[in-house]
Amino acid sequence: MLLRCGPHTLDLSIPRVMGILNVTPDSFSDGGRLFDVSRVDVARAVEHGLAMVAAGADLIDVGGESTRPGARDVGEAEEIERVVPVVAALAAVVNVPISVDTSKAGVIAAALNAGASMVNDVRALREPGALEAAASSTVAICLMHMQGAPRTMQHDPHYTDVVAEVRDFLAMRVAACERAGVARDRIVIDPGIGFGKRLEHNLALLADLPALRQLGLPVLIGASRKSMLGRLLGRGVEQRLAGSLALATAAALGGASILRVHDVGETVDAVRAAAALGTAGFHI
């Protein structure tokens, strides 16, 4: 399976690793690390991106607005100010696709103009103008499921059948993209681990990735360092590497095509081992 990302083509015959590059002051795991007082330190952000590529990252995902539960909203102009200089600087020095993690049409347009080749949207292009901004390009699109909004999504998430409901939502958004002229070889789906879901919902989705793969599209999983690991293991954010690697390995064996992670080098090794097991016929 090939994923078309503007000028890049990503071979998804083996699982790929997407490195997280948050240029935010308040992300749950690494917020503020790439800030100098109140502004993004572009040079440090690029240095971190280059380090992830050197560690084996196949894509870099740049985000300028935290989507952790309770996070404050960021205006479009502020998000552009955070994201676009980093995307432009990275695009000049790396040869992997750069993804922009945003829901806003203006940020999508500005980031694509700066050299981004993928749009990763937790709202699945439902904000005004977002679908049109992404569809008018040739970049890849990742559509994520989220029940509710980041500020309140974990208050009381409820599902009758979480796997079926998430799959049906994603199928609906894929159909909307196709109607807008987006080819299927540009689309990735993401069940949204931790986005409006309890621990049991997250586990059910991870355990039944084949049901999501029935849509015939690559699946992205982002479970790195998330609160479900805190509940499972009793570990703080900085102590969740082992749990994150276990989930990445399970997701790769379950058929995930892209793993979105903080710890790139370690995950690359885990995913390579999982891919070798899959080739040898091992299944969970």
Which residues have a catalytic role annotated?
226, 260
Beta-carbon contacts of 89 under 8 Å, excluding residues fewer than 6 positions away, are 42, 45, 46
Phi, psi of 212 (to 5 degrees): -75, -35
Q: Specify whether the backbone of 63 is left (phi greater than 0), alpha (psi in -120 to 50) or beta.
A: beta
166 contacts 205 by C-beta, under 8 angstroms: yes
Residue 193: strand, helix, or coil: coil
The C-alpha angle with vertex 62 and arms to 59 and 64, in degrees rounded to 5, equals 165
**Residue bearing tokens 């793993």:** 259
Strands 2-5 and 8-11: antiparallel
Separation of alpha carbons 269 and 280, rounded Å? 17
The span from the CA of 120 to the CA of 61, in Å, is 8
Q: What is the Cα 19 distance to its own chain's centre?
A: 9
DSSP state of 138: S
Reduced to 3 states, what is the DSSP secondary structure of residue 86? Answer: helix
Phi, psi of 271 (to 5 degrees): -70, -35
